[in-house]
């Protein structure tokens, strides 16, 4: 025991001898720390832990400890020497950050709900078709799903596989996903989610997913300059014919709307045997 730990818990040295310090530990942390210490002593290996200790004032303070075994000249185990640090403020900062992020997510969802309500009121029967209202709502829900994934990652980045899985979840297992682990920035994650949702929706209406035997393969790989090349390939659907004249919102979204976030427009190849879409995006 040393003076720093006495200050950490606000108690004199004499009250902290032997294992009395364990009694100051938070009940939820005791079992893990005691078990880690017992496991390490079996073969005298290093161990560490993070735990809360009650200060004499009644406050709980976090401590991170790193313990290294000591041996005498003959190699006989003599006990442990440890280095500990007070990480209370860091823990509190993490808790505040998590609270703020959850609040942000809550507010964003409320905003999306408001937009959805406005859309339903604005896109009334007689002004636009029911299909247009449903497509608008589905797009908002796809955006919300991507927000959930990013929130779990603190809005720092997202795993492309997780974004893809959530985007096409309503149509699994007819859509197969394959690709290496790769992180993408939040703006790219949202763009990819919207693109995959749009492609899946169109496949259900006109493409491979409109036929019982149809399927979609989504694969990605790391390309040049840390970029990602993602390919959407449809098979088993009705013969594909390239749209004539003015393209719909989905095509414009893929080839124009998402280009700013992805860095390049999507490439749509209307092959007779099935649509192929290629997306290029930067990796995080």
Please state, rounded to an integer, the average pLDDT across all residues of the chain.
87
Q: What is the CATH number of domain 3-86?
A: 3.30.450.20
Q: Comparing 225 with 80, which gets the higher pLDDT?
A: 80
User: Could you say which DSSP state residue 51 is in?
Assistant: E
- Predicted local distance difference test score (pLDDT) of residue 245: 65
Query: What does each C-alpha distance from 15 to 11, 65, 271 come to in angstroms?
Result: 7, 20, 79
Per cent of the chain over pLDDT 70 is 93
How far apart, in whole angstroms, are the C-alpha atoms of residue 156 and residue 52?
28
How far apart, in whole angstroms, are the C-alpha atoms of residue 28 and residue 62?
13
Q: What is the pLDDT of residues 38-65, one digit of tens each?
A: 999 999 999 999 999 999 999 999 999 9
Q: Tell me the whole-structure pTM to 2 decimals.
A: 0.60
Q: Confidence band (pLDDT; 50, 70, 90) for 28?
A: very high
Query: How is residue 119 written in tokens?
Result: 């859309």
250 pLDDT exceeds 80?
A: no
Angle at 43 between CA 40 and CA 45, to 5 degrees: 50
Range 191-219 average pLDDT: 93
Q: How far is CA 122 from the centre of its chain?
A: 33
Query: What does each C-alpha distance from 44 to 34, 141, 212 come to in angstroms?
Result: 15, 54, 62
Q: Confidence band (pLDDT; 50, 70, 90) for 18?
A: confident
Q: What is the pLDDT of residues 145-174, one digit of tens each?
A: 888 888 888 778 899 999 999 999 889 889
Domain parsing of the chain, residue ranges: 3-86, 91-282
Per cent of the chain over pLDDT 90 is 50
Asked if CATH classification 3.30.565.10 holds for the domain at 91-282, the reply, yes or no, is yes
- Predicted local distance difference test score (pLDDT) of residue 121: 62
Dihedral sign computed on CA atoms, order 168, 169, 171, 176: positive
Query: What does each C-alpha distance from 252 to 159, 243, 247 come to in angstroms?
Result: 26, 12, 7
| Residue found by looking up tokens 């092959």 in the block | 271
Q: What is the pLDDT of residues 91-146, one digit of tens each?
A: 999 988 888 888 878 777 777 776 776 677 666 666 677 777 777 778 788 878 88
How far apart, in whole angstroms, are the C-alpha atoms of residue 84 and residue 16?
16
φ, ψ at 84 (rounded to 5°): -130, 155
């Amino acid at each position: 025991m040393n003076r720093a730990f006495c200050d950490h818990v606000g108690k004199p040295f004499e009250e902290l001898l032997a294992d009395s310090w364990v009694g100051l530990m938070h009940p939820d942390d005791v079992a893990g720390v005691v078990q880690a210490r017992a496991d390490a002593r079996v073969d005298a290996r290093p161990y560490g832990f993070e735990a809360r200790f009650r200060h004499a004032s009644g406050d709980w303070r976090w401590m991170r400890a790193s313990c290294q075994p000591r041996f005498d000249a003959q190699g006989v185990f003599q006990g442990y020497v440890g280095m500990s640090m007070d990480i209370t403020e860091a823990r509190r900062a993490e808790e505040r950050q998590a609270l703020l992020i959850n609040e942000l997510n809550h507010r964003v969802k409320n905003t999306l709900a408001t937009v959805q309500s406005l859309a339903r009121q604005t896109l009334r029967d007689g002004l636009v078709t029911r299909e247009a209202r449903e497509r608008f709502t589905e797009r908002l829900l796809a955006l919300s799903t991507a927000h959930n994934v990013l929130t779990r990652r603190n809005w720092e980045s997202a795993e492309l596989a997780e974004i893809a899985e959530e985007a096409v979840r309503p149509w699994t297992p007819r859509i197969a996903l394959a690709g290496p682990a790769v992180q993408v920035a939040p703006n790219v994650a949202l763009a990819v989610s919207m693109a995959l949702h749009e492609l899946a929706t169109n496949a259900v209406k006109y493409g491979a997913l409109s036929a019982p035997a149809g399927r979609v393969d989504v694969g990605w790989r790391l390309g040049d300059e840390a970029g990602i090349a993602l390919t959407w390939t449809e098979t088993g659907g009705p013969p594909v014919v390239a749209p004539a004249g003015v393209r719909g919102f989905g095509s414009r979204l893929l080839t124009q709307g998402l280009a700013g976030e992805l860095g390049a427009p999507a490439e749509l190849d209307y092959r007779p045997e099935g649509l192929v879409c290629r997306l290029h995006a930067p990796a995080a």
